[in-house]
Structure 1
Amino acid sequence: MADSTTTQRAEELVTQARACFEQRQLQKATQLAKEAASLAPTNQNVQALVQSLSNADSNGSQILSLVKSYVENGDEKDGQEAVKLLKQHAAVPTDQVTDVAHLLFDHDGKPTDIRDQLTGAFVVNSAAARKQLASRIQVGTEATRYFRLLWRRGEYSFNSILPVLLDAGAWPNADIQTQAKRDAFLLALGKLLDPALEHGEWSMTLIARLLTSNAHDMAGLIDRDAFEIVLAQLDIRLDAKIRAQATLAVAKLLEETCEEGEAIFMDYITNGVAKGHNDELIVAFSAAASVFPLVPQTVAKLFLTPGFLEGLVPVLERNSMGQRKSHRLEQAAMELMSAACVDKACRESISKIAYNWLDDVAHTSTEAEAASMAALVLAKIPPKPESEESSVSHADDLSTLLVNLTLNASSPAEQQSSIEGLAYTSLQPKIKADIVSNSALLKKLIERLKSTTTADPCTFGTLTIFSNLVSYRPAQSEEQQKMSQLKNYAEAKKQEEQDPLDDEKHVTARCKTVLDADLVPVLVAAARSHYTVTILGIAAKVLHALAREQKHRGKLAQQGAVKLLLQTIDRLQTPTGPASSSDSATAAIHLAAHALARILISVDPHHVFSRAMPAISALRPLTLLLTPDTTSETRDLLPVFESLLALTNLASLEDDTVKDALLRNAWDPTQDLLLSSNKLVQRAAVELVCNLMASPAGVAKYADGSAAAKQRLHILLALADAEDDATRRAAGGALAMLTEWDAAAKAVLEHERGVAILLDMCADDADDVKHRGLVCVLNIVSAPGDIGAKGLEKVLQNDGVEEIKASLRECRDPNVMAVGVEVLKAILAKDGANKGKAITQS
């Protein structure tokens, strides 16, 4: 029988082989399987793997005959079966790859869906197949022929070109591979010049991937003509897929060409605008809008060129009033203005020159999409009020318009613009109040969120609205408030009055409305998809705000918020996740962990956790909050305090695995916090330590005889003498549990003031502290052998009997009295029966 080490190695090989199998690396998977079989031939997982590979080989041998039957005889059933086997990663035997390649690559035939899928699956599934196709496109004229053949055949076939071009193993050498990439790049560019082109996204995707994989291979090909061909694909009249790939390509082109590329771009826009025709204007504005976020300073300079916007607005006004109005021209211009709003000077210029036109389109356009887009731009730019009252009126009017547009939006573009506009305006307290009081709007937003995906821009906008609704004002310390006042004084600014609609009472009411609207279940359901870091961060921010009010936490737990928060943290912390080390991911993790802490303070962990979601899963994120952020100048202690409370709640579970995990992961930061200057944090840290003393491993931290244990006990005894009642109570509770153990009782006796501190607890004014002190004394005098004898001696030396008697005279709690009498009896039982009678009578 294989030993455990051999079995473990075999299991690792099985895991690696299965990963290779999934990635279609069948040869490597077979090698790993053979090695695993030599180590553990009887292992069930090894046998299952070998069988899977055997089946793949067996199925692969059928592919040639099936493909031949389809290509030569037109048998669709055989063709479909071949497609199925290839998609199941069945490997074509090495000696048959050439024949299959000949049937699929050298027979043009009528383009069909089956032929298309066969070609694509064959190339993607097999390195040998990629090598076969590479051998056919190494010569320029042949490259053209196969490029056209695969284009005619369909999307799967054409998309198979890219993995061949990027697979170094498919080519005799790097020079030939690079030349093939260059040929494909030029052919794809040429395809985009075809005025009757369909499926332009195929070519644009190939171009974008070749540029992003290694743009240096295209050296000499990236000239003005190539740049302008790609810029033309940003036209808003084209499919969104083409525009998305063109944006990626332009970003890479600008990165590679620097100032030269920016100059080409500027000329392209300037020349398009100078021609003045609608088609040229639409293309120019579309390109400028797409490129603005990539090089904002460059495009802003163009946008702010004297006469650019001033000349544009009359054209737009004439277009809006004309009978043959171009809606696409309006849309392109407004997309450019919307993009330009990232720049402050551009915002002010739009407000000054284009405000009236935008306002007219927003209120009078019969095109809902245009009205929504105009309203969005108005939401981003400053108004032109003549008085404070007109400014308020403008905000109310714009809010009402956006609400109506959102409620009545029918197309995705309308919804996106109106929701994005609401996201901007919902920063204002008055607008927040209007939105949250509109139940139809809240329902519409939540329904929209249900139907969105990660890639849908409405997801970001809708969550931003909810985040604005529930966000509390940032808390400021007394020192921060003073610094803010000094800054305003130095800058001769008047202290801004805070809007009462954004005070804590109003925000909490808005949080309740959002919670009652069942936003959280929608977020829980949506968490199944792979949200971006930004989206996860907004969701965490919303839950963090909702969890601030204690009354909301039970409902949050019922609606699945704990699971959602744990999933969010886990996804952001995964090394292969979206941005595991980015600042935004770190901030989102912190918010989610803090929200989790708040909920777990107020709910019974028995009702939240289960076998499927064990309590131990919450420990890591909560522990993160205990560690100070070294990059921050100040430390917010509220998350620390609330995390300690949540961990204390979890430590109360009768589950040793939770306590042991806490001792492993949270012990060191908790020990540091025992010395915190903040009384609440210190108290919470002591309470956590108290709960951990129910674990033998926790007791060992104080009773293993080490120097560190003695230092810890010294701190705990000192905390039993703290000014704060609750801190003394928690420290006393920890000592009461500790002294039940002989080794811990011995450690207390060895401390110079150990017994004296216990007796001080017995004399405490607070009965619960007194109770814990009496239990501690009872434990040390009742300990067996020398420990109990020494305990008795120390108590008597410190005049303990009289102190306890005096303490009991002031006590009115019968439970404490009972323990006190028991302590005195235990002392006198060891110190002499006669004395015992006298003391108990007195």
Structure 2
Amino acid sequence: MSSTDQPPFDDLSRQDKTLLLFARLMEGGKEDEETVASLDTLTGLLNDDPDAVKKGEQSIVAVIDADCLDTILGYLDMRQAETVRAHATLCTSAFLNAAGDHGRKMLSEFFLARIRRSTYDDYIVAFCVATAMFPVVPDLTSELFLTEGFLPSLGPLMRRKFKSRKVETACLEMLNAACMHAACREAVERYCIDWLEEIVDQDPDEVVCSAQHTGDPDVNNHEGSLYMRRHSQHVQNLAAVVLAKLRAVPKQPAPKKPGDKGSDENDEPRVQQAETSIEDLSKRFSKMLVDDPDHAQVSVEGLAYASLQSKVKEELSQDKETLKRLVRTLEKAPPKSPLAYGALSIFVNLTRYLPRETEEQEKLRQLKAYADAAGKLQPDSLMDDAHVAARCKRVFEAGITPVLAIHSKESSVASLTLIISILHSISVTQSLRGQLAQQGAVRVLLSSWSALPEKEALARRTAAQALARILISINPALVFGGSRPVSQTSAVRPLTTLLTPDDSSDTRDLLPTFESLLALTNLASTDHDTRRTIVRAAWDKIEELLFNSNSRVSTAAAELVCNIVQAPEQAHELFADEEKNAVKCANRVKVMLALCDAEDPKARSAAGGAMAALTQFEFVVKTVIAHPRGVDIILGLCREQDDEGLRHRGAVIVGNMVTAEGDVGKAARDAMVKGGAVQVLVDCAKRSRTAEVVQACVGGLEVLMGKGE
């Protein structure tokens, strides 16, 4: 039957569609776009297969034999276009999901058969398949990778006199992917470390000299002969990345059992060659990045691992040229690309602070260190806050913030989390917060907080805390309002999420709550809409924090209340609405009165400021008078010996109360006279040097003295 007589593709059964797609993929000679389209269609059929089987249809896996799988896996070959390889990876993943154990068995047989054939072409395909499958089926791929005899066979392959660059590249890319798995990484270190060192340390001139010294006739015959004896620069760079992954986390030697002399020949003493340090590798990657920016992926990946070490962090942060090159690399990197993620990872490593410890945790750590190392184990001085702050400043000065702002617009969730982490660390340094705001950090943090799904709770809290730190230290008008597209009320919701503790944390860290209160206080000093938004979003939380056992937190909450009640509408609703909420309002006034008598001067100042605004309402004046110690607490502010601000607040409150109208005002004046307010105000005026305080005292005295006459 001719092709024109064949039924349309959509009319074929699922099995026939599958066979037709494999026929197209096996033909070869297709354009990449056609190949990708066939792979995508096959992936769709495989993804739908489990549901189709549940409905009683026959699985298409039954028609996929070893030759079919060979076809798909062949498109994972490094010699294929990158786009084709990516779509082939998705197709292979879909097949393994649909085929289950049968598919895993077929993949194992494919890999082992290719390795047994031992041709360069088979090695390339097998290594490429393993590289692609490590993230997809890590347990199966690591099992194949750790097959007895496989890793030891790689050394002779890589040390052959005449080399295949593609085999070497495929092998090292496989090792690179394998190092993400702990057991595989240990095996690579055991069996491959020597020849990896040889590749990295190879000197091309020594290869030439060695060949000439031995009188090899191929040296002068054809350039390719000598060329094939050298490891390429790219291969050397890949080997360096693998070494960096091995060196990044020092291997802990396994304790030997008594009488254990080793299990194989690898335990025998041998001459140790010079080891390439992580610092040497870092310098190599830095040089690669500067000298060859067009091939930045390898150097960035290497630096991402090397910069886990504190010594490398410090050296890299002081290398201005490499830092600026990294910033430019990130700027040019496509969004959501491995290059962008790797560059962001480096900046995260450079700027990360050690986790905050409670006093109890710090003591336990010190005791453990003493027990483990007889007191000799000292904390890494390069990781203290001072060194990290200095690194953050250098990263900021390299121009990272505008680039983060650009990347945040199209970043993946993973990259967005890294961007937030960098800004969070830089925002610790108070002197940089204004510049962060000027360069768009506030907008980045707000949009990131909104863009992240709710399940990314930690990243959202981190973004909110960085936002709080910046908003503590700047005038909100410089960031919000005017022609700017972001309203300052949009910052309220992220900030209020920090007012409750992080349920996922083992310890309760009050610093984010404290910083959020300070930022909200700053915002509440600006306009009525913001105050109203804060009250609607978080009043219950704010009110609860007034009772917090941590004095700094309760004081910060009182300062926020002080700014909120500067708006008459909010003050009346929360503290003076006698008709709707008399009991609640009275209780709130009593809380503020109690804070006016607190030990902390800042708490008294904040509560006094709030009461200065609230005592303009008759209901609040009545509540103060009715309190057994209400008048005495207010006069206590006027009696302050050293704090002019507290005396001012006390005098203003007294003035508000005694000038109230009607019966409430008369009762207030009587209570004040009975409490000795006249003498208190006289003494307060004598002690004060500020005109506003003296004027407030005189105003109150005039009313009280007039009453007395």
> One fold, TM greater than 0.5?
yes
Q: How much has 1:308 moved relative to structure 2?
A: 0.9
Q: State how 1:608-687 maps to structure 2 within 5 Å.
A: 608-611=479-482, 612-653=485-526, 655-687=527-559
CA contact (8 A) 2:545 2:553 kept: yes
- Corresponding position of 2:413: 533
- Corresponding position of 1:557: 437
Write the distance in 1 (CA, Å) between the matches of 2:107 and 2:276. 41
Q: Please give the secondary structure, in 2, of the residue aligned with 1:723.
A: coil
Q: How much has 1:488 moved relative to structure 2?
A: 4.8
Write the distance in 2 (CA, Å) between the matches of 1:770 and 1:391. 74
Write the distance in 1 (CA, Å) between the matches of 2:337 and 2:498. 32
Q: How much has 1:391 moved relative to structure 2?
A: 9.4
Q: How much has 1:807 moved relative to structure 2?
A: 4.2
CA contact (8 A) 1:597 1:646 kept: yes
- Aligned partner (choices 785, 801, 816) of residue 662 of structure 2: 785
Q: State how 1:398-413 maps to structure 2 within 5 Å.
A: 398-409=281-292, 411=294
- Corresponding position of 1:221: 60
Write the distance in 1 (CA, Å) between the matches of 2:497 and 2:402. 26
- Corresponding position of 1:21: none
CA contact (8 A) 1:792 1:827 kept: yes
CA contact (8 A) 1:144 1:187 kept: no
- Corresponding position of 1:746: 622
Q: How much has 1:820 moved relative to structure 2?
A: 1.5
Q: How much has 1:539 moved relative to structure 2?
A: 0.4
Distance 1:209 1:487, change over 3 A: farther
- Corresponding position of 1:717: 593
- One-letter amino acid of the structure 1 residue matched with residue 536 of structure 2: R
- Aligned partner (choices 198, 201, 206) of residue 41 of structure 2: 206
Q: In the alignment, is residue 543 of structure 1 matched against residue 423 of structure 2?
A: yes
CA contact (8 A) 2:43 2:95 kept: no
CA contact (8 A) 1:368 1:405 kept: no
Cα-to-partner distance string for 1:301-348 (whole Å, 9 max, x where unaligned):
222222110112211221xx30xx322111111111111112222112
- Corresponding position of 1:446: 327
CA contact (8 A) 1:659 1:692 kept: yes
CA contact (8 A) 1:703 1:743 kept: yes
CA contact (8 A) 2:279 2:306 kept: no
Distance 1:494 1:395, change over 3 A: farther
Q: How much has 1:733 moved relative to structure 2?
A: 0.2
Write the distance in 2 (CA, Å) between the matches of 1:438 and 1:469. 12
- Corresponding position of 1:118: none
CA contact (8 A) 2:14 2:60 kept: no
- Corresponding position of 2:569: 697
Q: How much has 1:261 moved relative to structure 2?
A: 2.0
Cα-to-partner distance string for 1:430-462 (whole Å, 9 max, x where unaligned):
211221222221222111111112232110010
CA contact (8 A) 1:648 1:688 kept: yes
Distance 1:214 1:731, change over 3 A: farther
- One-letter amino acid of the structure 2 residue matched with residue 208 of structure 1: T
Gaps of 5+ in 2: 203-229, 254-268
- Corresponding position of 1:309: 151
The 10-residue stretch of structure 1 (611-620 or 644-653) with the greater mean CA deviation from structure 2: 611-620
CA contact (8 A) 1:205 1:242 kept: no
Q: How many residues align?
A: 646
Q: RMSD of the alignment, in Å?
A: 2.6
Q: How much has 1:506 moved relative to structure 2?
A: 2.0
CA contact (8 A) 1:740 1:779 kept: yes
Cα-to-partner distance string for 1:154-210 (whole Å, 9 max, x where unaligned):
xxxxxxxxxxx6xxxxxxxxxx7xx54443332222211123333222211211233
Q: Please give the secondary structure, in 2, of the residue aligned with 1:520.
A: helix
- Aligned partner (choices 325, 349, 363) of residue 468 of structure 1: 349
Q: Please give the secondary structure, in 2, of the residue aligned with 1:636.
A: coil
Q: State how 1:119-268 maps to structure 2 within 5 Å.
A: 144=6, 146=8, 180-199=13-32, 200-217=35-52, 219-222=58-61, 223-225=64-66, 226-268=68-110
CA contact (8 A) 1:656 1:695 kept: yes
Gaps of 5+ in 1: 1-138, 148-164, 166-175, 573-579, 834-842
Distance 1:269 1:556, change over 3 A: same
- One-letter amino acid of the structure 1 residue matched with residue 167 of structure 2: L
Q: State how 1:596-611 maps to structure 2 within 5 Å.
A: 596-611=467-482
Q: How much has 1:717 moved relative to structure 2?
A: 1.0
CA contact (8 A) 1:181 1:217 kept: no
- One-letter amino acid of the structure 2 residue matched with residue 586 of structure 1: A
Q: In the alignment, is residue 593 of structure 1 matched against residue 464 of structure 2?
A: yes
Distance 1:140 1:212, change over 3 A: farther
CA contact (8 A) 1:691 1:734 kept: yes
Q: How much has 1:814 moved relative to structure 2?
A: 4.4
The 10-residue stretch of structure 1 (188-197 or 424-433) with the greater mean CA deviation from structure 2: 188-197
- Aligned partner (choices 338, 350, 355) of residue 176 of structure 2: 338
The 10-residue stretch of structure 1 (657-666 or 257-266) with the greater mean CA deviation from structure 2: 257-266
Higher relative contact order (CA closer than 8 Å, sequence separation 6+): 2
Q: How much has 1:279 moved relative to structure 2?
A: 1.1
Q: In the alignment, is residue 353 of structure 1 matched against residue 191 of structure 2?
A: yes
- Corresponding position of 1:125: none
Distance 1:488 1:430, change over 3 A: closer
Write the distance in 2 (CA, Å) between the matches of 1:496 and 1:785. 74
- Aligned partner (choices 441, 445, 449) of residue 569 of structure 1: 449
CA contact (8 A) 2:154 2:192 kept: no
CA contact (8 A) 2:49 2:98 kept: no
Distance 1:141 1:793, change over 3 A: farther
Write the distance in 1 (CA, Å) between the matches of 2:565 and 2:401. 37
Distance 1:618 1:493, change over 3 A: farther
Q: How much has 1:729 moved relative to structure 2?
A: 0.3
Write the distance in 2 (CA, Å) between the matches of 1:140 and 1:752. 104
Q: How much has 1:789 moved relative to structure 2?
A: 0.8
- One-letter amino acid of the structure 1 residue matched with residue 118 of structure 2: G
CA contact (8 A) 2:49 2:59 kept: no
Distance 1:492 1:513, change over 3 A: closer
Cα-to-partner distance string for 1:95-118 (whole Å, 9 max, x where unaligned):
xxxxxxxxxxxxxxxxxxxxxxxx
Distance 1:670 1:220, change over 3 A: same
Q: Please give the secondary structure, in 1, of the residue aligned with 2:47.
A: helix
Write the distance in 1 (CA, Å) between the matches of 2:569 and 2:318. 54
Write the distance in 1 (CA, Å) between the matches of 2:101 and 2:48. 22
Q: State how 1:762-777 maps to structure 2 within 5 Å.
A: 762-765=638-641, 766-777=643-654
Distance 1:750 1:230, change over 3 A: farther
Write the distance in 1 (CA, Å) between the matches of 2:374 and 2:39. 53
Q: Please give the secondary structure, in 2, of the residue aligned with 1:235.
A: coil
Write the distance in 2 (CA, Å) between the matches of 1:475 and 1:355. 37
- Corresponding position of 1:25: none
Distance 1:439 1:489, change over 3 A: closer
Write the distance in 2 (CA, Å) between the matches of 1:687 and 1:192. 70
